[in-house]
Amino acid sequence: METIVREAHRKPPAGPEALEHRNIRQGEFWRAIPKYRDVDEATFLDHIWQGQQSVKSPEELLETVKDLVEPSFFDDAREGFRRAPMAVRVSPYMIASVDWTKPYSDPIRTQFIPVASTLRPDHPRLVLDSLHELEDSPVPGLTHRYVDKALFLPLNVCPVYCRFCTRSYAIGSDTDVVEKVSLAKTPKQWQDAFAYISSRPELEDIVISGGDSYQLAPKNVTAIGDALLAIPHVRRMRFATKGPAVMPMKILTDHAWTDAITGVVDKGRRLGKEVVIHTHFNSPREISWITQKAMNVLFERGITVRNQSVLIRGVNDDPHTMQLLVRQLGYLHVHPYYVYMHDLVKGVEDLRTPIQTALDVEKFVRGSTAGFNTPTFVCDAPGGGGKRDVHSFDYYDRRTGIAVYSAPSVKPGKHFVYFDPIDTLDPDVVERWHIPQVAEAMIAEAVAHAGGARSYVPA
């Protein structure tokens, strides 16, 4: 009888979809791109070659992919480049990861190569620095918002520029539509940040971002690591980089950089301090055998890697796509940490999703794998409220697209408002958003429903 009961309760075998995350892209896939047709593996894995061959203009894009797409696509991209708030820089690895048979729907193209035909009008409330990082910046290149954490920005360049960058006000070169703010780009300016951190004993957690810490010279990785580890009250450091997603071969071929990161991690461990890498995968299409090999190097060296995705329309807002990404990251020993709501930045309204999308995707993903490998979906509250669990809104009006958050441990007594993309709202509501007095009344009503005063911190 006992054997029969056990058989009756046995879980059915898993279908092939349960193992899909183990199907890592293999082979010399880059040879499908005309410009890379004769590029051997050693060359493609060279991080210097990747940087030198990155696409930065419509002309370079045409030279690279040639007749894989119609000429009309290049005209569309040329206008997209002109109207983009971010400069364009796309590594050969990312170019080779695009499915050029359907470029308009491809998640890699969507993130990195702007085309004018997909752009949508901005929500009237969008701004360049929606998170108010500059307002929480006591010295150039440092943001101090949370009590025990600071964000250090020692450079303003990245290996690849994301269209949706929350720091489009400062990162990369000036564009036709944005003149960039200067960050702390020199070692002399870094000293001011270190001095401020030293003067604030409550600061235990420092994020080194930018820009992208991938672009720091190895000697500067060591110098920054040593300077921060020498501050007694600093207990945790995170080197933030999108590099593993967009140029994983650097970990394999830039031995000096990888050794420098390893050295800081090891030194931190000897001092009883945690040093980790935070990276940024958004799509399973970003993952290949090169990624797996690079992540294995970091894993073998005992380096913890966590991932912070952004929820992006047409990239990962499908529940099955996000589920696959989460499982695949766990398989590669990359901890899925956060999925952010897209920030309220200008020029990329076509990439944002409603709050409701995050709620639906999170519900589907949760239970797909172990809890520690399940990301928290968050809204980085516009106006400087910090990261809030996306479910924790005080009020959400799906008709007007207004979500109200509060952050009692960050900025007590204040409310922060996130706005759903305007093209997802009913036409009569869209019309109301374009009348300033009516828009203010809608916001005030939402904040009042949230239990606050009829005021809020604007983005």
CATH of the domain at 169: 3.20.20.70
Q: Which residue has the higher pLDDT, 313 or 386?
A: 313
Do 146 and 101 fall within a single domain? no
Question: Does residue 158 sit in the same domain as residue 215?
Answer: yes
344 domain residue, yes or no:
yes
Of these ranges, 81-90, 145-154, 298-307, 408-417, the one predicted with the greatest mean pLDDT is: 298-307
pLDDT of residue 182: 53
Instruction: Spell out the residues 6+ positions from residue 126 whose beta carbon is closer than 8 angstroms to its own.
Output: 344, 345, 346, 349, 459
333-355: b (≥16 Cβ within 10 Å) or e: ebbbbbbbbbbbbbbbbbbbbbb
Checking if the pLDDT of 177 tops 80, the result is no
- The whole-number average pLDDT for the span 207-229 is 94
Q: Measured between alpha carbons, how far is 361 from 372 in angstroms, rounded to an integer?
A: 17
Residue with tokens 């949370």: 146
**pLDDT score of 438 more than 50:** yes
Decide if 138 contacts 145 (C-beta within 8 A).
no
Q: Which pLDDT value is given to residue 169?
A: 56
Whether 207 and 242 share a structural domain: yes
Residue 459 has pLDDT above 70, yes or no: no
Residue 181 sits in the same domain as residue 90: no
pLDDT at 454: 52
Q: Provide the pLDDT confidence category of residue 185 given band limits of 50, 70 and 90.
A: low
Co-location of 262 and 354 in the same domain: yes
What pLDDT is stored for residue 3 in this prediction? Answer: 55
* Domain boundary residue, one of 367, 394, 421: 394
Whole-angstrom CA distances from 213 to 44, 168, 175, 387 are 22, 17, 22, 22
The mean of the pLDDT values for the chain is: 91
Domain for residue 423, yes or no?
no
pLDDT the model gives residue 17? 84
Residue 333 within a domain: yes
Residue 228 and residue 165 share a domain = yes
Q: Name the band, by pLDDT with cuts 50, 70 and 90, for residue 128.
A: low
Share of the chain above pLDDT 90, in %: 77
Q: Give 3-state DSSP helix, strand, coil % of the chain, rounded to 5.
A: 40, 15, 45
pLDDT of 428 reads 97
> Among residues 354, 373, 394, which one ends one of the domains?
394
In a domain, 417, yes or no: no
What pTM value is reported for the model? 0.92
414, part of any domain: no
- Where does a domain end: 50, 85, 118? 118
Is residue 397 scored above 80 in pLDDT? yes
State the pLDDT at residue 1: 47
220 and 338 inside one domain: yes
Q: Note the pLDDT tens digit of each residue in 334-385.
A: 999 999 999 998 889 999 999 999 999 999 999 999 999 999 999 999 888 8
Q: CA 84 to CA 99: how far, in whole Å?
A: 22
Mean pLDDT lowest among 88-92, 304-308, 453-457: 453-457
99 and 161 share a domain? no
pLDDT of residue 455 exceeding 70, the answer is no
**Each residue's pLDDT tens digit, 30-65:** 999 999 999 999 999 999 999 999 999 999 999 999
If you compute the radius of gyration of the chain from its CA atoms, what whole number of angstroms results?
23
310/198 same-domain check: yes
**Residue 408 falls within a domain, yes or no?**
no
Domain that holds residue 103: 16-118
Q: Is residue 233 part of a domain?
A: yes
Our count of domains for the chain comes to 2
Are residues 292 and 335 located together in one domain of the fold? yes
Q: Is pLDDT above 70 for 309?
A: yes
Are 85 and 166 within one domain? Answer: no
Q: Is residue 270 part of a domain?
A: yes
Mean pLDDT of 308-320: 97
In a shared domain, residues 113 and 151:
no
Question: pLDDT tier at 7 (50, 70, 90 boundaries)?
Answer: low
Query: What average pLDDT score do residues 91-107 get?
Result: 97
